[in-house]
Amino acid sequence: MENNHVITIAEGTIRHKEQVVLSNVNVQVNKGDFIYLIGKTGSGKSSLLRVLYGDIMMHSGSGTVVGHNLTTLKKKEVPFLRRKIGIIFQDFQLLGDRSVEDNLRFVLKATGWKGKKEINAQIEKVLSLVGLSNKNYKMPHQLSGGEQQRVAIARAFLNNPDLILADEPTGNLDPETADEIMQLIFSLKEENVGIIMATHDYRLIERFPSKILKCADGQINELKITI
C-alpha cells in the first residue's frame, strides 16, 4: 500500500444519527504501528472503529482505510474491506457449537477460501501464531478465557490483514491473563500490520507504552505518555 499507510483520515467528521460525535479527525496509521484509543464511554471510540470497518460512513472530510475510500464506500465493497481488517472483540464471539479448528474453518470458507490444504495450512499458521497449536480440537467451553481470546486473535489474522482493530480485548480477563494477551497483541505488530486497540485499562498502557489517541469533547488528540 502506498507509503505503508493503512489509515489516513484528514479533517474527518463522524456522526451518529444526526449528531456530530467527532469532528476535525486527523489520523494516520502505518503498518507496524500500535496505537491505543482511549476515552470515556460515549466519547466516540466505537464510532471511529465502526467507520474504520465500514459499519457507518464518514460524514465529511477525506479518508482511506486499507485502500478503501471512507467517504465513497459502497455496501457491496464492505466485505472486501473487512477481509483486510481483523477485529478482536471483548467477548470473543466464538461459535460455541464447534471446535476451535471449525470456528476458524467457518470464517475462511465464508471469506472465499476453497482448497482444503490451503485452509488447513492457514489454520495451523494462525494457531501457531497465538500459541494454541495443540488446542485445535477443543470446544470453546473447554478453554479458559485467555485461550478463547487467543483463538479470537488467531481468527483476526486468518485473512492476512493489513489492520487489526481490537475493541477492549482484555476487558473480560483477570489482570494476569490480560497481561499475557496484551503481550501477544503487542508483539503482533511485528507481523507488518497496523493495530488500534480501544481500552480503559491504563495499567496496560503503562506496562506496554505506545502512541495514544484520546477521544474527548468531540475531538481526537494524541497524548504524550511519560512513564
| Residuewise pLDDT in 10s, the chain (227 residues) | 346 899 999 999 999 888 999 999 999 999 999 999 999 988 999 999 999 999 998 999 999 999 999 999 999 999 999 999 999 988 888 999 999 999 999 999 999 999 999 999 999 999 999 999 999 999 999 999 999 999 999 999 999 999 999 999 998 899 999 999 999 999 998 999 999 999 999 999 999 999 999 999 999 999 876 54
- Strand 163-167 versus strand 68-69 pairing type: unpaired
Tell me the C-alpha distance between 70 and 94, whole Å. 29
Instruction: Find where cell 481500552 sits.
Output: 199
- In this structure, how many other beta carbons lie within 10 angstroms of the beta carbon of residue 46? 20
Tell me the percentage of the chain whose pLDDT exceeds 90.
Answer: 86
- Quick check: 185 and 126 in contact, CB under 8 A? no
